């Protein structure tokens, strides 16, 4: 599967990052498509279907881009997270609803958001492979899984890409997971490239976070961890200022530079943020820049885990 160098992640337009303005979200999707972005990422559980319906509305009368959908996350009416369901019968049910909400006859990449501990990955991927044969899905993806699960899934049906957190502050994939993807010819769609806003250069420690905001429960945004992490960002700002770019552009450009097989998903939900992010495509990093960035934010220097303990337990990629 070929995509634009950057994809647009639509999650924050419906969920997890506090209130979003629907008109601005749609304008942001339009601006991304007009700028040549060909990949939109969503999940059926982002706002319990809201994100897929928002994308369908934004795409009315437009040429359809590639759409990547995650499924499997179970939510309660109050938005609570109830676990994951990867049973083949559930996969068929999830896709039926997603196709209807997205107003499309196929999904470009389909993946379970987290491995269901009760269901072998072979069964979940086997159910998506049936959907590929039936024409409802074009490509199979994975999300937040480790090298062994990647190999098991790929043995059932070729996997197109792994979606996983990757940024200057989250470099866990470099040792084992990225080499496994490269060996098997699997691309990476990197999320959290701005560490959910922490690495953007815009984060203010006094920002108020509602209970539904992911960052209210994220160890990296808590107390002294936040102070230490923002000190890393200030070290990056010195480098960014020296190059006449923004911190966000430097952070995105760093991920872009890690390989043509890595596509950062940008979590912009406003046009100004999107424009800033797209500016990263014009940033070239010299060997000296890379060394300075590495010194400013050495691998493993982020304070705090990337998820709270209950969510870490769902990450096959962290075993
Ligand atoms: N597979 C998975 O498990 C998984 C998990 C999480 C996300 N994802 C996908 O990956 C996408 C991106 O993830 P993310 O939203 O966490 O990534 P992110 O890009 O690290 O964070 C987005 C946050 O950064 C802030 N930001 C500040 N400046 C920005 C700029 N110039 N461009 C973009 N954002 C800027 C946004 O600001 P504001 O607060 O001002 O809007 C937003 O709160 C999601 O939309 C979703 O599709 C996948």
CA 18 / ligand 1 centre spacing (Å):
12
Read off the pLDDT of each residue in 77-102 and give the average, rounded to a whole number: 97
CA 16 / ligand 1 centre spacing (Å):
10
Read off the pLDDT of each residue in 57-69 and give the average, rounded to a whole number: 97
Position 79 confidence tier, pLDDT thresholds 50, 70, 90 = very high
Q: Residue 190 in contact with residue 166, Cβ under 8 Å? A: yes
Of ligand 1's listed atoms, the one at least distance from the Cα of 42 is 47
Position 212 confidence tier, pLDDT thresholds 50, 70, 90 = confident
Residue nearest to atom 8 of ligand 1 (CA): 191
Phi then psi for residue 22, to 5 deg, are -65, -40
Question: Within 13 Å and on the Cβ side, how many CA atoms surround 221?
Answer: 22
Residue from 28, 55, 59, 33 nearest 44 by CA: 55
* CA-based torsion, 186, 44, 80, 210: positive or negative: positive
Please give the Cα distance from 206 to 209 (Å, whole number): 9
Of ligand 1's listed atoms, the one at least distance from the Cα of 194 is 20
Residue 108 has pLDDT above 90, yes or no: yes
Please give the Cα distance from 316 to 149 (Å, whole number): 8
Residue nearest to atom 5 of ligand 1 (CA): 191
Read off the pLDDT of each residue in 284-292 and give the average, rounded to a whole number: 98
Q: What percent of the chain has pLDDT over 90?
A: 97
53-86 b/e with 16+ CB inside 10 Å = b? Answer: ebbbebbeeeeebbbbbbbbbebeeeeeeeebbb
CA 196 / ligand 1 centre spacing (Å):
5
The alpha helices in the chain, defined as continuous H runs, are 22-34, 50-58, 88-102, 121-134, 147-156, 177-184, 223-243, 247-256, 271-278, 287-296, 309-312
Residue 284 has pLDDT above 90, yes or no: yes
Read off the pLDDT of each residue in 295-315 and give the average, rounded to a whole number: 96
For 33, the 3-state DSSP assignment is: helix
Residue nearest to atom 48 of ligand 1 (CA): 191
Q: Does the pTM of the predicted model rise above 0.85?
A: yes
Position 254 confidence tier, pLDDT thresholds 50, 70, 90 = very high
Angle at 104 between CA 63 and CA 212, to 5 degrees: 95
User: How many CB atoms are located within 10 Å of the residue 148 CB?
Assistant: 13
Residue nearest to atom 17 of ligand 1 (CA): 192
Please give the Cα distance from 271 to 94 (Å, whole number): 31
Read off the pLDDT of each residue in 187-198 and give the average, rounded to a whole number: 98
Of ligand 1's listed atoms, the one at least distance from the Cα of 272 is 31
Residue 165 has pLDDT above 90, yes or no: yes
Of ligand 1's listed atoms, the one at least distance from the Cα of 276 is 31
Residue nearest to atom 4 of ligand 1 (CA): 191
Position 211 confidence tier, pLDDT thresholds 50, 70, 90 = confident
Q: Which residues are catalytic?
A: 46
Distance of CA 232 to CAs 23, 75, 168, 199, Å?
34, 35, 10, 9
Q: Residue 317 in contact with residue 145, Cβ under 8 Å? A: yes
Phi then psi for residue 94, to 5 deg, are -55, -45
Position 298 confidence tier, pLDDT thresholds 50, 70, 90 = very high
Selected residue with higher pLDDT from 19 and 88: 88
Position 267 confidence tier, pLDDT thresholds 50, 70, 90 = very high
User: How many CB atoms are located within 10 Å of the residue 204 CB?
Assistant: 7
User: How many CB atoms are located within 10 Å of the residue 156 CB?
Assistant: 18
Pocket test for ligand 1, best of 200, 220, 312 (most atoms within 8 A of CB): 200
């Amino acid at each position: 599967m070929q995509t634009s160098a950057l994809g647009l992640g639509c999650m924050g337009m419906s969920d997890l990052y506090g209130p979003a303005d629907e008109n601005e979200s749609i304008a942001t999707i339009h601006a991304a498509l007009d700028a040549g972005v060909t990949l939109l990422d969503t999940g059926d559980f982002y706002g319990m279907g809201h994100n897929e319906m928002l994308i369908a509305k934004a795409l009315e009368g437009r040429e359809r881009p590639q759409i990547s959908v995650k499924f499997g996350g179970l939510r309660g009416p109050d938005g609570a997270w109830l676990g994951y369901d990867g049973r083949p019968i559930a996969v068929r049910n999830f896709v039926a609803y997603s196709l209807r909400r997205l107003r499309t006859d196929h999904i470009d990449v389909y993946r379970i958001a987290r491995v269901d501990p009760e269901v072998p990955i072979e069964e979940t991927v086997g159910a998506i492979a049936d959907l590929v044969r039936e024409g409802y899905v074009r490509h199979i993806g994975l999300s937040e899984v480790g090298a062994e699960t990647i190999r098991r899934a790929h043995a059932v049906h070729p996997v197109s890409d792994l979606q996983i957190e990757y940024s200057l502050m989250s470099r866990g994939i470099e040792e084992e997971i990225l080499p496994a993807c490269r060996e098997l010819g699997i691309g990476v769609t990197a999320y959290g490239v701005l560490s959910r806003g922490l690495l953007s250069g815009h984060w203010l420690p006094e920002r108020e976070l509602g209970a539904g905001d992911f960052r209210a429960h994220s160890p990296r945004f808590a107390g002294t961890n936040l102070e230490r992490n923002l000190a890393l960002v200030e070290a990056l700002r010195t480098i960014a200022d020296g190059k006449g770019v923004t911190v966000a552009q430097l952070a995105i450009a760093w991920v872009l530079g890690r390989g043509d097989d890595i596509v950062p998903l940008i979590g912009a939900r406003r046009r100004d943020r999107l424009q800033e992010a797209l500016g990263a495509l014009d940033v070239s990093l010299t060997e000296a820049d890379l060394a300075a960035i590495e010194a400013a934010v050495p691998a493993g220097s982020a304070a705090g885990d990337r998820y709270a303990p209950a969510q870490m337990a769902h990450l096959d990629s962290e075993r």
